[in-house]
């Protein structure tokens, strides 16, 4: 009985959840392709512009002016984002994602976006990637 339940559960995950996650991954890929080439490390607010573009592509909500105004520039975040963009430009999505979603990066983003509660709420589902 338990074996049957486990088999049915994995079958349901394969049939229902996996396609949804694949769709989400494809959507995130498309967003990254649209915003990655706009990254400029000469500007310490580049991550803010990236975040606004990323959020706009995912949600359709335009937080650009809000994020740029509330964002606290952080050169370490800017440098790390450049590294991530370099990975993506080299078609190394796995390395880019590993760094992008690392706890160190999330901490840098938390610090830089600490004064941006409205957009932070919209990023909630993205952070659970």
pLDDT in tens, 35-73: 555 555 567 888 999 899 888 888 888 999 999 999 999
Q: Centre a 10 Å sphere on the Cβ of residue 40 and count the other Cβ atoms it contains.
A: 13
pTM of the shown model: 0.65
Q: Which residues contact 32 (CB under 8 A, 6 or more apart)?
A: 54, 88, 96
**Which residue segment(s) compose the domain that 39 sits in?**
2-127
pLDDT per residue over 19-38, tens digit each? 655 666 667 666 666 555 55
Count how many domains the chain has.
1
Nearest residue to 67 via CA among 109, 96, 129, 97: 109
């Amino acid at each position: 009985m338990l074996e049957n339940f486990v088999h049915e559960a994995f079958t349901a995950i394969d049939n229902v959840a996996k396609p949804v996650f694949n769709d989400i991954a494809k959507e995130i890929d498309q967003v990254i392709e649209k915003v990655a080439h706009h990254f400029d490390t000469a500007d310490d607010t580049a991550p803010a512009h990236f975040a606004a573009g990323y959020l706009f592509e995912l949600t359709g909500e335009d937080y650009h002016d809000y994020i740029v105004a509330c964002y606290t520039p952080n050169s370490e975040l800017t440098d790390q984002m450049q590294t991530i963009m370099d990975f993506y430009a080299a078609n190394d999505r796995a390395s880019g994602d590993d760094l992008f979603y690392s706890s160190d990066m999330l901490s840098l983003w938390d610090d830089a976006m600490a004064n941006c509660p409205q957009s932070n709420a919209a990023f909630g589902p993205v952070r659970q990637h």
